[in-house]
Amino acid sequence: MSLRVAVLVSGEGTNLQAILDKVHGREGIEVVGVASSRAGARGLERARAAGVETAVFAAADHPDREARDLALADWLDERGAELVVLAGFMEILTGEFIRRFSGRIVNVHPSLLPAFPGVRSIERAVDHGVRVTGVTVHFVDEGVDTGPIILQRAVPLSYPARIEEIEDRIHAVEHELLPQAVRLIAQGRVRIDPVNHRRVLIEGEGGDGDG
């Protein structure tokens, strides 16, 4: 069992840190590169501190998004990345990139999808007054946060609430769920349901087979 993982970040990189701390160098999982869309991303420092190779692929440094994503994809292939993890990567990848790594890109999102896709998901859920929000880890397709769901966990809310406290609780769940998903994929236990391509089957999870 082995899995070469690349992580894409744009900012703080706490989810990257969770992957480095919990699965990197264990069970055959190796983080082989961290790429950022921003030169100043704190995630790059975290990668360097763990001895992981880094690179910056800022849109402004390339003629267009297609060229940027092509350079990024080539860099990932050069490192032999088998799984691409979007960990707070705040840019939309081109369809060409997504097709090239089809079924091999996962994203962590701070809501229970399909509720609150896109940006500012935590604030929008709280503004809406939802009583349950949460975290989703999903495969990336060509839509915005629309791909097949691998793992979800609920986070209950009550009001009044401090947004910072809610963010902390959601991030803590992300830091468990994302490494767990990477571990399950490395174990070869995750596949798309051949009958319903929206669904993900996780080996060993049970299920009575009537769905």
Applying CB under 6 A, the residues found at the interface with ligand GAR are 9, 11-15, 43, 87-88, 108-110, 121, 171, 174
Residues counted in the chain = 211
**10, 90 Cβ separation under 8 angstroms:** yes
Q: How far is the CB of 53 from ligand GAR (least distance, A)?
A: 19
CA dist., res. 150 & res. 183, Å (int): 12
190: number of CA atoms within 13 Å, CB side? 21
Q: Rounded to an integer, what distance in angstroms lies between the CA atom of residue 74 and that of residue 108?
A: 23
Q: Find the residue with minimal CB distance to ligand GAR.
A: 88
Q: Count the neighbouring beta carbons within 10 Å of the beta carbon of residue 100.
A: 18
- Supply 44's token pair: 């790059």
Answer yes or no: are the C-beta atoms of 110 and 135 closer than 8 Å.
yes
Locate all alpha helices (DSSP H) within 23-162, ordered by sequence.
42-49, 65-78, 95-100, 121-128
To ligand GAR, the closest distance from the beta carbon of 91 in angstroms equals: 10
Comparing CB distances to ligand GAR, the nearer of 77 and 168 is 168
How many Å separate Cα 201 from the centre of its chain?
18
- The CA distance from 111 to 120, in Å, is 10
For the bound state, the minimum distance from the C-beta of residue 136 to ligand GAR, rounded and expressed in Å, comes to 9
Closest distance to ligand GAR from the beta carbon of 11 (Å)? 4
Q: What is the smallest separation between the CB atom of 167 and ligand GAR, expressed in angstroms?
A: 8
Q: What share of the chain is helix, strand, coil (3-state, %, to 5)?
A: 35, 25, 40
Out of 24, 109, 171, 175, the active site residue is 109
User: Nearer Cβ to ligand GAR, position 33 or 88?
Assistant: 88
Q: Is 197 an annotated catalytic residue?
A: no
Q: Which is nearer to ligand GAR, 29 or 93 (CB)?
A: 93
Cite the active site residues. 109
